Amino acid sequence: MSPIITLRDVRKTFGPLVVLDGLNMEVQRGEKVALIGPSGSGKSTVLRTIMTLETIDGGEIEIDGESLWHMKRGSRVVPANEAHLRRMRSKVGMVFQQFNLFPHWTVLKNVMNPVRTVLGLPEPEARARAEELIALVGLQDKVNQYPGRLSGGQQQRVAIARALAFRPKVMLFDEVTSALDPELVGEVLNVLRMLAHEHDLTMIMVTHQMGFAREISDRILFFEHGRIAEEGTPEKVFNCPTNDRTRAFLTAVRQA
Amino acid sequence: MSLIYEARWVLLEGALNTIIITLAASLLAGAMAFSAGLARLSSIAAVRCIALVYIEVFRGVALLVQLFWMFFVLPFFDIHLEPITTAILAIGLCNGAYGAEIVRSAISAVPRGQREAACALNYTRLQTLWRIVVPQAIPMMLPPFGNLMIELLKVTALVSLITVHDLSFQALTLQQTTMQTAAPFTAVLVGYFLIALVITGIFRLAERRAGVGLDRGGLR
Ligand SMILES: Nc1ncnc2c1ncn2[C@@H]1O[C@H](COP(=O)(O)OP(=O)(O)OP(=O)(O)O)[C@@H](O)[C@H]1O
Ligand SMILES: [Mg+2]
């Protein structure tokens, strides 16, 4: 089977700054991949380009065998229009470091309203789906709270439920525990652990939790200067990294 | 005091006209503020430009001049408007220009992460605007809109200069016909104050209702 996500020679610049420098990357269906690497190496940018939050300046991204930024019109290939982008986005969900819940809606509405609006699900169905997911992340007693009243860990669990409500094929997690107090990290990691057992769900996560990355990922990608400097199974990357920079990074992280 | 009692119908007519102009001009101003404020944030340059011209013209020209221009100059172009219509148009358009900046800044103050989350959830741009951004921007707009509406109430006094029988006009008339100054002007002073009080109260209520969930630092 073809990879669910392919990046081919992807370039992304912000002015003079080259953030992704001819990046090649493949993620297989159902694979759990962790992106690690120093700050500024382009990890978030990779996720954001897959989610179409950033455009790319060169190369090609394919999701589920289809080009993200281009589409076929007759026999010609033209830049993607909004309809194409929306169809592609529907395969992917994303969870952010800062949660980004909608503060004017209760927990239930945060999870239920998007699928009503975007998928057009009827209210009872959307509500049932939302309640099920809210229970899955352990927040059934918070359904009618506003996000401002929840702890960071609870908010992040709602954000995960909100993304899952669309039943995406791919979930992107961008440092989802980095904004949390240490004692709240565990509850969010537990939800991710549970998702990692979903055989069909592809997970791409940027994380600084090396222990967690090692525990649940099939493959580790070490980023440096907008490229993959080293990749492999957790055993390989963590135990016998071949790249000096990887070794230096891991040493620095372990000392922290 | 007996003068006020005798002149009560005159004063009430003035108050009624002031209230009508305030309400109608506020509605127009609100509609213009939203249209122009959103247009300022449009991705289409021509739309942004039109909004900018509207805002700068109507903010930059003295309201009195706008009133006179519409009242005395438009007839040369064979456009004849009732004095009260002129008043509503001029005041509404002028305050809409101020309001547009309130709308624009409140919309831009909604954190970018909100739009990004909506995009990741596959909302269209319009759905993002109306369901995510505007509902969070409105509580930020309400206090300055409350101020603006009170300002608007006060500038309606200018319409007495284009023969509209508003509260100020009636006071001037009473002063001239009765040769008394203190009573009529004190009466309209109280009149304006009471109307302003009602406006303040309505906005307080609206702020409380619109702020549900967004309470105190709820907007990150
Ligand atoms: N909108 C933007 N405008 C300008 N520069 C940007 C923008 N977004 C990101 N960058 C820059 O691009 C580089 C890569 O950013 P990115 O967020 O992908 O790094 P990262 O690997 O996720 O780092 P971190 O671990 O700190 O989150 C950084 O130098 C950052 O400052
Ligand atoms: Mg990052």
Distance of CA B115 to the CA centre of its chain: 29
Phi and psi angles of residue A129, each rounded to the nearest 5 degrees, phi first: -60, -45
pLDDT digits (tens, 9 = 90+) for B32-83: 999 999 999 999 999 999 999 999 999 999 999 999 999 999 999 999 999 9
Mean pLDDT of B104-128: 96
Q: What is the DSSP letter of B179?
A: -
Q: What is the mean pLDDT of residues A130-155?
A: 96
pLDDT at B15 over 70: yes
Kindly list the structural domains of chain B, giving each domain's residue range(s) and its CATH number in brackets, ordered by start: 2-217 (1.10.3720.10)
Beta-carbon separation of B122 and A103 below 8 A: no
Q: Smallest Cβ distance to B123: which of A117, A146, A148?
A: A117
Given a cut of 80, whether residue A137 has pLDDT beyond it is yes
Q: Are A41 and A225 in contact (CB under 8 A)?
A: yes
Q: Given this model, what pLDDT does residue B217 score?
A: 46
Q: What was the pLDDT predicted at A252? A: 87
Q: Closest Cα of chain B to A29: distance in Å? A: 20
**For ligand 1, is residue A14 a contact (CB within 6 Å)?**
yes
Average pLDDT over residues B163-181: 91
Identity at B114, one-letter amino acid code: Q
Note whether A178 contacts B: Cβ–Cβ < 8 A. no
**What would the two tokens of residue B85 be?**
């219509």
Neighbours of ion ligand 2 (CB under 5 A): A 44
pTM of the model as a whole: 0.89
CA torsion sign for A60, A65, A68, A74 is positive
pLDDT digits (tens, 9 = 90+) for A77-129: 999 999 999 999 999 999 999 999 999 999 999 999 999 999 999 999 999 99
B218 pLDDT band, cuts 50/70/90, is very low
Inter-chain CB proximity B123 and A51 less than 8 Å = no
**Angle, vertex CA A174, rays to CA A141 and CA A39, nearest 5:** 140
Q: What is the mean pLDDT of chain A?
A: 94
pLDDT band of B5, cuts 50, 70, 90: confident
pLDDT band at B219 (very low <50, low <70, confident <90, very high): very low
Q: At what angle do helices B134-155 and B8-39 cross, to 10 degrees?
A: 140
User: Is residue A243 less than 8 Å (CB to CB) from chain B?
Assistant: no
* Ligand 1 and A43: CB distance under 6 A: yes
Written as one string, the DSSP assignment of A14-58 is: ETTEEEEEEEEEEE-TT-EEEEE--TTSSHHHHHHHHTTSS--SE
Which pLDDT score is estimated for A242? 87
Name B4's Cβ contacts closer than 8 Å, sequence gap at least 6. Answer: B11, B183, B184, B187
pLDDT band at residue B113, thresholds of 50, 70 and 90? Answer: very high
The Å distance, Cα A48 to ligand 1 centre, comes to 10
Pairing of strands A58-63, A32-36: unpaired
Complex ipTM value = 0.94
Of chain B, the percentage scoring pLDDT greater than 90 comes to 85
Q: Which atom of ligand 1 is nearest to the CA of A175?
A: 27
Q: Would you place residue B4 in the very low, low, confident or very high pLDDT band (cuts 50, 70, 90)? A: confident
More reliable by pLDDT, B216 or A208:
A208
